[in-house]
Amino acid sequence: MSAVVEQPVEAVKEVLHPYYPRDAHLPHYVASQFSMNESLATLGSAILVLAVVSAFLISKARTPLSGKDKLVVIWMMVCAGIHIVLEGYFSFNHGSLAGKQTVLADLWREYAHSDSRYLTSDPFTVIMEGITAVFDGSFAALTAYGILADSPIRHPAQLITSLAQLYGDVLYMATNYMEGYRYTNPHPMYFYGYFVLMNLPWIVIPTYLIIDSVKSIYRGMLIAQRATSTKKTN
C-alpha cells in the first residue's frame, strides 16, 4: 500500500504570475481584464482628456500665453492627474492591487511588468508614490494655476514640483539599477518601452523647467536688488 504524499498548503495555494523576479510572492494575483493595448489606450485617452481640459483653461488665461507656457500648463495638468489619480490610487490600494479588478489596477498590473515592486508593497515605492501623489500632484496643479493666473507663485511652484519629480524619479530608477533590475522583465518592450521611456519625461522635462525657473527667479531677484539699491541711493 503506497503512502500518499501531501503537498504543502503554501505550494498548493501559490499563484503563478508573469512578473520578475519569478519568485516574487503574489498570492492574491489575478489576471487583468484588459489587454496590453487596451490598457495603453485607456492611459492615452486619459492623457488626451487632460490635454483638452488644459487647452480650455489656456483659452481662459488672464493674459495671452506664449507657446512654451501653454506646453508647461498641459504638462503640469497631465502630471497633476497622473500623480493624484493614478499614483494616489496605488498609494491607497498597494496591498491588494495585484488582485483588484478595476481599470486603474489593470494599468498598474501592466506597468508592473517593468517593475514588480508596485505589486509587492515595496516600502520605498509605497512611500515615494504617496509623497508624489500628495506633494508633487498639488504643486503641479499650483504651477498650472500660477501660469494661467499670471501669478508670481508660478516659478517657485514650478521649481519645487520639478525638483521633487526629478529627485523621486532618479531615486526610483537608481534603486532598481542598484539591484540589477531584478524587478524588471528583461524583454525590450518592458525594459526600454516601459521602464526607460515612460520615466524619461520625468527626468528630461523637470531638468529643463528647473533651469527655466532658476533663471526667472534670478532675474527677478536681480531686478528687485537693483530697485532697492536705486531707492537707497536716492
What is the rounded average pLDDT of the residues 138-145?
Answer: 98
- From start to end of 63-199, where are the E strands? none
**What distance in Å separates the CA atoms of residue 76 and residue 172, rounded to the nearest whole number?**
20
pLDDT value at 231 more than 80: no
Model pLDDT, residue 11: 45
**What distance in Å separates the CA atoms of residue 15 and residue 184, rounded to the nearest whole number?**
19
Model pLDDT, residue 234: 65
Q: What angle do CA 117, 118, 121 make, to 5 degrees?
A: 75
Phi, psi of 60, rounded to the nearest 5 degrees: -105, 10
Model pLDDT, residue 2: 45
**What distance in Å separates the CA atoms of residue 112 and residue 104, rounded to the nearest whole number?**
12
Taking a C-beta distance cutoff of 8 angstroms, is the pair 195, 115 a contact? yes
Model pLDDT, residue 14: 58
**What distance in Å separates the CA atoms of residue 93 and residue 40, rounded to the nearest whole number?**
21
Taking a C-beta distance cutoff of 8 angstroms, is the pair 27, 95 a contact? no
Cell of 202: 520625468
What is the rounded average pLDDT of the residues 131-152?
Answer: 97
pLDDT value at 35 more than 50: yes
